[in-house]
Amino acid sequence: MYTITTEYIICGDINIDYLFDSDRKAQLEALLKAYNLTSVINFPTRTHKLSTTAIGNIFIEFSKMGNYSICPIINGLSDHDAQSITLHSFNQRPPPKKSILIRKINEHSIKDFLNKLSWESWDTIISTDDVNKMFNSFLDSYLKIFYSSFPLKRIHVNNNNNNNNNNKIGLL
């Protein structure tokens, strides 16, 4: 579940009262700490007759969420109150580098391609009278050679719009 590029906010009715210490609360906190998640609810979220509990909760990654405010929303529709969280600042990472896939086609790779084509045995292609099988066999052999001579390579593209003329890349 954990990836460095993903921020989590978990919320819901967890049925563990966060107003009091318990073994279940300690176990849940230990699990959530493994993902750097912390409870932010410190007020009752359910009132029933003479008892109040904080069994609805929101867990955030405090270090990435920055400044936030939280408040209860008493809606009268349920025995649970809702919670609202507002993130005032969010510590975002820079956008990921964009990349594209290209095939490097130059004099050397073309010679390699032609050489491999010349060494290919085309006997299996003409060994049948079925035109569809012949074509599929030819295409399989041809593409295998093409992909080996002109492999895809991933290159990173500069996102700076001011340098558009410097970053032109031919795609094939």
Question: 3-class DSSP state for residue 37?
Answer: coil
Same domain, 64 and 105: no
Lowest mean pLDDT among 3-12, 45-54, 159-168: 159-168
Q: Which residues contact 100 (CB under 8 A, 6 or more apart)?
A: 154, 155, 157, 169, 171
- Where among 87, 113, 131 does a domain terminate? 87
- On the question of pLDDT at 144 being above 80, the answer is yes
- pLDDT reported for residue 167: 40
Structural domain contains residue 25: yes
Q: What is the pLDDT of residues 111-121, one digit of tens each?
A: 999 999 999 88
In a domain, 3, yes or no: no
Angle at 128 between CA 127 and CA 134, to 5 degrees: 95
Residues 125 and 68 in one domain: no
For the record, the structure tokens of 132 come out as 């569809």
End residue of a domain, out of 46, 68, 87: 87
Q: Which domain holds residue 155?
A: 98-167
Task: Summarize the confidence of residues 97-101 as an average pLDDT.
Answer: 84
Residues 102, 53 share a domain:
no
Task: Note whether residue 2 is domain-resident.
Answer: no
Find the DSSP H helices in 14-130: 23-33, 62-65, 107-119
Are both 64 and 103 inside the same structural domain?
A: no
Name the DSSP letter for residue 97.
P
In a domain, 1, yes or no: no
Q: Residue 48: CA atoms inside 13 Å, Cβ hemisphere, count?
A: 8
- One domain for residues 70 and 23: yes
**Structure-model confidence comparison of residues 137 and 4, the more confident one:** 137
pLDDT at 136 over 70: yes
Indicate the DSSP class of residue 80: B
89 token code pair: 């600042």
Q: How many domains does the chain contain in total?
A: 2
